[in-house]
Amino acid sequence: MATNDDLKQTNKLILRNLEPEDYAQVKEIMDRVYPTLGGWTLLEFKAQLKTFPEGQICIEDDGKVIAAAQSLIVDYDKYGDRHTYNQITGEGLISTHDPKGNTLYGLDIFVDPDYRGLRLGRRLYDARKELCYRLNLKRIIAGGRIPGYAEHAHEMPPSKYIELVKDKELQDHVLGFQLANDFHVRRVLKGYLKGDTASKEYATLLEWSNMDYEEPHTNPRINRGIVRVGIVQWQMRSVKSVEEFLDQVEFFVDAMAGYNVDFVLFPEFFNAPLMALRTDESPETAIRTVAAHTETLVEKIGQFAVRYNVNIIAGSMPEYYDNTLYNASYLCRRDGTKDSQKKLHITPDEEAYWGMHGGDKLCVFETDVGRIGILVCYDVEYPELPRLLADKGIDILFVPYWTDTKNSYLRVRRCAQARAIENECYVAISGSVGTLPRVDNMDIQYSQSAVFSPSDFAFPHDATIAEATPNTEMTLVADLDISLLKELRERGSVRNLRSRRNDLYSLRWKGDKEDFVVVSG
């Protein structure tokens, strides 16, 4: 696993449409990426933005453009599978753009070399796919360079080279990337891009099909309200270093990203193995020693979120400052921003063993797929908190927990199930399994991670979408249909939120107003 030490540090990644004032930065990147082909002229760039502004997108980091992708819509039947780059793109001016066409054609995609390794190309491809869904286009077509072919042209035709790349016998960073993003090769194009000596002017004709496409004579009803969550039922095991612990974290993030999840949820105190690195320390000293690593861990996990394009809820970890110890969960968004939610209710054990304190702030978190809440373990046993979050419009509540026995686990589970029904939202819970010898108060674990739903006809009969095998290290992946929540709140058999008797009782936050907030990142 990579340590990410060599990755470019980011501030906040923003996906947006290109603007005319971005030209200089775009040209600079293209000149670096295509030293022999060059970048767009200002005339071409302005024409692309004027003709089809929606298709010209970029990623910026702290105001600097670091990656971009351009496209147009064509009536593909006019061009067919035998065309050149200049023919179908109108010499880069996209005069061939047809708003009534059925195919999104990839004009170009490139990433600043200083920012490679963050999977920004995948993020741009995902944005193109979202555009394809939204405009109800049949497919994405692109001509793909094969810059590794020149080295092998003397010994094989391009078709053989492509097959070897597909079989992982040869590596081509462009073609390999496109295949990994669900494109397939329709045919080989000859003389596609003049001057592309690295590809011998050959190209792959690539296609990605929109499975939600509906013919124009029908009324398209495309549901993009699915949020996919990945849950890690974490095995507590001894580690020899912080780096080894981070390797385990990255392994699961990588695995979950392979399923295209929007969130990865880790358990409460999932970094407890670090407490075993110093067995000579008392419990209260050991947890403060571990807290000293928290800032570094959050920074590294934040890099994983960007690199693997997934929002990570980093369970919870001890946080120590101003001589006060807290238990905090961290949201690392895939745009590079981070926020935290402290545990508000501290268990008697946490107070007695460690001298831990509860936080005073309750947050609703904005993400790229909707509003969420995070409550750490014991907090979900207090129905007031999830109700306050529900009143702010959350759709998913994430609950990292740690329990040592089945009865303590069942407290968390039953309360989490109740919160899903009461507040008409999804609730995902994640715990740890296994043992940690020589770690006081964290030596044994019991867990059965799960995802719960409201209880009505549109949901599973037992209001349980997925659950793990008890006490086994594993992962869960579940698709959560947000549109079902909206339907439930309007036309459900019962409507808990709407039917409340506010004329008889009420719930309000008594802390400082600024301590109950919606956090946008």
DSSP 400: E
The stretches in the chain having pLDDT less than 50 are 1-4, 218-223
Question: Is the CB of residue 453 less than 8 Å from the CB of residue 459?
Answer: yes
Q: What amino acid positions are annotated as catalytic residues?
A: 268, 343, 377
Helix ranges, 292-437 (H): 294-307, 348-349, 384-391, 406-423
Looking at residue 225, its pLDDT comes to 82
Looking at residue 346, its pLDDT comes to 96
Spatial neighbors of 354 by CB under 8 A, at least 6 apart, are 283, 284, 287, 318, 325, 441
Strands of 174-323, DSSP E: 184-189, 203-209, 226-236, 263-265, 311-313, 317-321
Question: Is the CB of residue 443 less than 8 Å from the CB of residue 436?
Answer: yes
**Identity of the amino acid at 507:** L
Question: Is the CB of residue 135 less than 8 Å from the CB of residue 71?
Answer: no
Looking at residue 7, its pLDDT comes to 64
Looking at residue 82, its pLDDT comes to 87
Task: Please write the tens of the pLDDT for every residue from 293-310.
Answer: 999 999 999 999 999 999
Looking at residue 269, its pLDDT comes to 95
